[in-house]
Amino acid sequence: MKLSPKSRKILWPAAIIGAAILIGITAKTPGTAAEGYTPCVYQTIWALLPPVVAISLALITKEVYFSLFMGISTGALLYSNGNLELALQTMMYHEEGGLVSKIATQQNASILVFVVLLGALVALMNKAGGSAAFGQWASAHITSKVGAQLATILLGVLIFVDDGFNCMTVGSVIRPVTDRYRVSRAKLAYLIDATAAPVCIIAPISSWAAAVTYSVPADSGINGFEMFLRTIPYNFYALGTLLMMVLIVTTGLDYGPMRLHEKNAMNGDLFTTPDRPYQDADNEIPSSRGRVIDLVLPVSVLIVSCIIGIIYTGGFFDGVGFIDAFANSSSAVGLVYGSLITLIFTFVLYLSRGIITFQEFMDCLPAGFRSMAAPMIILIMAWNLSGMTNLLGASLYIHDLVAVSAGALKIFLPAIIFLVSVFLAFSTGTSWGTFSILIPIVCNVFTDSYEMLVIAIAACLAGAVCGDHCSPISDTTIMASAGAHSNHVNHVTTQIPYAFTVAGVSAVGYLIAGFIGYYTNSPVALAALPVTLILLAVVIVIMNRCMKQA
């Protein structure tokens, strides 16, 4: 019997799951994991199989829920050595990686609440006519497609406090403008995503700076925040991504799957694929009484209140310094405080101005929840998949792999650590987890060369951001899709060629920086930055000419 192409796509991952079950045939696994239990594949290359399955299937089938579920199932079966009862318990209730446990953590639960509150706020701004009024105002000042994309980049750079906050806010503000000038939703999602993590990782005042600061071991004798500042000019991927966006926007270069999306957008189809995410929210009829201030003022309050919320969680109002407050903060909790304050402020503003009724305001709350249901499901499943990967010891496997190879390859270590960070962050969907694992290793390797230590840590941060930037299971990637109201798989497939272009050039930059830094142990290695950016510009110019001739 001949199978259809779709059936074949689903059949081969089923075979992978079967192979995972066979791994445990010779092991007698109890129905409940005893204390000290470790699976047969713990801390081996097999620990990377669950994210590989999920990512591969997402790119092949274009079905993100199915792909994530298959990845989670693979991880649970590997962890249980094929015992179905233990696999189910692990998938749902394991205290470190189970679905319920992941939702119940303060950090993850706060992110879900923030997403819901922000969804309600966006629904309110649309209903009140603030977004439509801003779109009309922007059309009078932004007169071209290039201008709309540059405005997106500028707004993304200005909102540098937190990557998730960046994605959701920029998308809700700029989407009416980019729609007017026929920028595809996939392109908008890329611009949002590329100004989220890549900007946060080079912003001294951000939740990311705090995470890096505390990833540097306390017993290393290194000031974590000072080290973060030193890594900024060596973060070739983040700086290269900013240059990349400006170049592709100003030159009109589109390649890979993005080329088709942009071509279709110019013909009126912003999505390309049949899926139309958030169609109800996009088609909602706004109030005719809305003004630009009805969008600008809530967004401004949101930015200010979120910053205040973040430093509040870090103890700023208890006498802790501003920088230390950021370093000690819980950004997810701070974002909940900020979004809740903004929602209350918006309630008072809109009702006092009479642009919506009390009933319309209340209706926007469940509407906002419904609009964010899809990204919330993807987020929850991505956390579950990450938990399964951690239970299999994937991070320890990467730790040992890098630690063994690093000592004999110090000149090449920056490039190696960059590529390893890309792979680990892409597979696990977390940049913070990646650099928190690798930075201590780097600190132990370069005890006698401070400049090489700075370069290597920068390479770790850059690789973590790159992997996080293009991973389909990354929180930031998911929220960029939500902010742009784009199909998630479309965003991933169109973004990867752009991200990998910058990654390839960045790897060359780290080879140059490692060579100079090893022999000079001085800031002369910063010469690698202009070389890397010039090389990227040359690559873009050549690709642009080739695309025009094609």
Read off the pTM: 0.72
Q: Answer whether residue 520 is part of any domain.
A: no
**Co-location of 150 and 88 in the same domain:** no
- For the chain, the domain total comes to 2
DSSP secondary structure of 190-234? HHHHHTTHHHHTT-SSSHHHHHHHTTS-GGGT--HHHHHHHHGGG
**Co-location of 145 and 87 in the same domain:** no
**Co-location of 302 and 206 in the same domain:** yes
Q: Answer whether residue 245 is part of any domain.
A: no
Could you tell me the residue range of the domain that residue 88 belongs to?
A: 5-94
Q: List per-residue pLDDT tens for the chain, 550 residues long.
A: 455 555 555 555 555 555 544 544 444 444 444 556 778 888 888 888 888 888 778 777 767 778 888 888 888 888 888 788 888 888 888 877 788 888 888 878 887 888 788 778 878 877 887 767 776 777 678 888 999 999 899 888 877 666 766 777 788 778 888 988 999 999 999 999 999 889 888 877 666 766 676 667 655 667 676 788 889 999 999 999 999 999 999 998 999 999 999 999 999 889 888 877 765 555 555 555 778 788 788 878 887 888 888 888 888 888 887 767 766 777 778 888 888 999 999 999 988 888 888 888 888 888 878 777 777 787 788 778 878 887 888 777 776 766 665 555 678 888 988 998 898 888 877 787 777 777 877 777 777 778 888 999 999 999 999 998 888 888 888 888 988 888 888 999 999 999 999 999 999 999 999 999 888 878 888 999 999 999 999 999 999 888 877 6
**Co-location of 35 and 162 in the same domain:** no
Distance (Å) of CA 332 to CA 208, 237, 326: 12, 25, 12
Q: Answer whether residue 417 is part of any domain.
A: no
As a whole number of angstroms, the distance between CA 454 and CA 421 comes to 15
Q: Answer whether residue 451 is part of any domain.
A: no
Q: Answer whether residue 235 is part of any domain.
A: no
Q: Answer whether residue 444 is part of any domain.
A: no
Residue labelled with tokens 């233990």: 86
**Co-location of 10 and 111 in the same domain:** no
**Co-location of 141 and 17 in the same domain:** no
Q: Which of 339, 356, 374 is at the close of a domain?
A: 374
Task: Quote the longest CA-to-CA distance of the chain.
Answer: 73
Q: Which of 374, 408, 441 is at the close of a domain?
A: 374
**Co-location of 64 and 154 in the same domain:** no
**Co-location of 112 and 153 in the same domain:** yes
As a whole number of angstroms, the distance between CA 150 and CA 249 comes to 7
**Co-location of 20 and 51 in the same domain:** yes
**Co-location of 129 and 182 in the same domain:** yes
Q: Which of 94, 114, 138 is at the close of a domain?
A: 94
**Co-location of 132 and 19 in the same domain:** no
Q: Answer whether residue 185 is part of any domain.
A: yes
**Co-location of 141 and 47 in the same domain:** no
Q: Answer whether residue 532 is part of any domain.
A: no
